[in-house]
Structure 1
């Protein structure tokens, strides 16, 4: 099994998972060109879509024009017209030799899903390396619950999110949790990766649980930082998350 991240646009990644026969699973192809360049004449087994934003689905039409009939799995959302199979929370997908569970993770958008299986998590714009997605359609309670759900997956799960945001997220994480030794070590490694021109993804769920402030809303240091920024006590993890997300929305390194 070969996992590849294909750069697209300014900071997107399109994920490809290949099997021994070189057939591929394509995740969130916002642009068809990188996929076509890599796959050549080999049609993909399927396309997985996490949500409706154009930088995640914009290349699907061109891929279907090249390979008509390719299965396209997507959440129940009319804003994704190319879907051939709609998926919902709890469904189990069998694609070739691979098995994935569908997880509903609303917050960034109302219909966002993630796909978990084969030691991988394709989570779109819900969970980022050292961060999380903006709340375009959901509520803090929805997003915090979605992230808490993802945090229960096995620690060695490789997190395949859709943007190279790690350095920017690191600056905010260090502001919130500057005395976290795991975070400081992670940031040093990330800086070295980017200086060498390498992607910072995939990360691991264990690493995110140790370093990502949005998964650490119950940590005393993170709560204290959120309360200090908000200027008042925060009663629970949802309130801490909401304060962190609002802080991050206006944050400039």
Structure 2
């Protein structure tokens, strides 16, 4: 079973209309809420495109160089659903001489990632999921590519637990680490968690994404640019308005305030 199967199945069974991710774009930006069903739909379209158009198979490296954002959730879940090995854009990812099949990058940062993979998929990171701009010889538009894909994903075969999934970790190791981090952070099953964590690989994704959904919790993500300033008063306000039981701080530890 893939990482995504493991995370989505209990959430879909529990309540597909329940909010899975509530995303705030910085201190004064927009709010987007994805239900479990909507997140699964984005993930399915992504997985279908990766497998059918980019020949991604279990263990195939896929670069994810995106910030914490609601579209990034679809990219991560879709990548894992078809068995892709999510890796970083730079060294230290365990790739060796193997080239990544696809690199998901911000539409504004395509030039910085030329040559990162066979296919560069630019992600607009738009409030409504709009296009990241026209296609060119070196990059394709993620949103345009996946819109025509099926809304459901059916793997051709099960993804083995020994398949590389996140940097140096296998599927089984990722799932075990997610449960371990959920316990360490105090994530309660079915709760709502407010986070300002950047989705770095692997620590930010483990704590800010996988640990939350491993406990069937809903995530309220306060998104900023990498290294951006987080307003503690804004976080306190969001905790109250979003009924979050736990706040994951920007760096390390658990903030119960």
TM-score (norm 1): 0.30
**Who wins on radius of gyration, i.e. which is larger?**
1
The structure whose residues are more often strand, as a share, is 1
TM-score (norm 2): 0.30
Which of the pair has the greater relative contact order for Cα pairs under 8 Å at 6+ separation? Answer: 2
